[in-house]
Amino acid sequence: MILEVIQRSLRQPSRLIPVEALIESCEGSRMPDVQPERLTVDIASRVSAVCPTGALATEDGNGRSCLRLSYGHCIGCGRCVEVGEGALIPAARFRWTGLEKEQLVRCWDLSRRVEIETPAPDAVRGHVQKLLGRALNIRQLDAGSCNGCEAEISALTNPYYDLERWGIHFVASPKHADMLLVTGPVTRNMADAVRATYEAVPAPKLVVAVGACGCSGGLFAGSHAVVGAVDAVIPVDRYIPGCPPSPAMLLSGILEVLGRRNLK
């Protein structure tokens, strides 16, 4: 019986998801994208009004009206897609992960109906990459998450995504880590623990804030129970948005931080 199960399993095709299908995939994340040719001032005002976290907002500056979208605040609720009349759609591909906080923001000129280009992010700390080489040890830290991000992070270790094929491992102790992957808004009860964990990671180290809560506080921003986003307590190098980010978005972001996005 057991032998038959093993033989049947070995005959099955590999379910390991290929690299090219992972990078920039955001399937299931509900992150919005904008079709600028369909944008109007009316639609921009409407989608800004329904956004529960202020991720979408209209701005006036330099004599032009703009729509601003911050992925760091976006929880992928889909309300903007519902009222956007086709100007906002679920993103098919998503490259805004593993970047600096300023790079999570996109703007569109409403009069010209074009995206306003933002500067490319600075190169990741080169000396850290050089020291890490092709291996990376990650300590995941829950600073007050609802555990949605944790569910997606744990999926990275299954045979379907197989994080370890890149030489990336999760470790139990911050003393063995090169990177802190921090989820959730930092609650007041966890603030000291977050600082202590950060101090325990040997230098040089990288800190990545995960999810809308980690990036901006998400729906909990301003609550008396939280200190704020991760960068309100410890320095953060890069951000992975989403509520929660999918395993593919997490992996794309980690590889972006390491400068290994084009790894085949």
Q: What's the whole-number mean pLDDT along residues 101-114? A: 94
Domain end point (choices 96, 116, 136): 116
Closest by Cα among 249, 175, 243 to 30: 243
The answer to the question of residue 23 being in a domain is no
pLDDT of residue 125: 47
pLDDT of residue 264: 40
> What is this structure's pTM?
0.87
Decide: helix, strand or coil at residue 24. coil
The answer to the question of residue 183 being in a domain is yes
- Shared-domain flag, residues 90 and 133: no
- Shared-domain flag, residues 109 and 138: no
Domain end point (choices 93, 116, 139): 116
The answer to the question of residue 62 being in a domain is yes
The answer to the question of residue 9 being in a domain is no
Q: Is 130's pLDDT higher than 70?
A: no
pLDDT digits (tens, 9 = 90+) for 133-156: 567 999 999 999 999 999 999 999
Runs of H (alpha helix) within the chain:
2-11, 19-22, 41-50, 79-83, 126-132, 148-155, 191-200, 211-216, 247-257
- Shared-domain flag, residues 36 and 146: no
What six digits make up the tokens of 250?
A: 């997490």
The answer to the question of residue 10 being in a domain is no
User: pLDDT grade, residue 13 (50/70/90)?
Assistant: low
- Shared-domain flag, residues 191 and 217: yes
- Shared-domain flag, residues 133 and 237: yes
CATH code of the domain containing 178: 3.40.50.12280
Task: Identify the burial level of 35 via C-beta atoms within 10 angstroms of its C-beta, where 0-12 means exposed, 13-18 middle and 19 or more buried.
Answer: middle
Domain end point (choices 116, 141, 156): 116
Q: Is 122's pLDDT higher than 60?
A: no
pLDDT of residue 167: 87
pLDDT digits (tens, 9 = 90+) for 27-80: 888 999 999 999 999 999 999 999 999 999 998 866 679 999 999 999 999 999
What six digits make up the tokens of 188?
A: 């007041």
Report which of residues 21 and 240 the model is more confident about: 240
CATH code of the domain containing 56: 3.30.70.3270
- Shared-domain flag, residues 230 and 253: yes
- Shared-domain flag, residues 62 and 182: no
pLDDT of residue 133: 58
Domain count, the chain: 2
- Shared-domain flag, residues 131 and 111: no
- Shared-domain flag, residues 101 and 146: no
Q: Kindly report which listed range (26-40, 94-108, 122-136) carries the lowest average pLDDT score.
A: 122-136
Could you tell me the maximum CA-CA distance found in the chain, to the nearest angstrom?
75
The answer to the question of residue 213 being in a domain is yes
pLDDT digits (tens, 9 = 90+) for 170-229: 999 999 999 999 999 999 999 999 999 999 999 989 999 999 999 999 999 999 999 999
- Shared-domain flag, residues 69 and 136: no
Q: Is 124's pLDDT higher than 70?
A: no
pLDDT of residue 107: 95
- Shared-domain flag, residues 253 and 152: yes
The answer to the question of residue 232 being in a domain is yes
- Shared-domain flag, residues 215 and 136: yes
The answer to the question of residue 11 being in a domain is no
User: pLDDT grade, residue 14 (50/70/90)?
Assistant: low
Domain that holds residue 236: 126-257
pLDDT of residue 15: 67
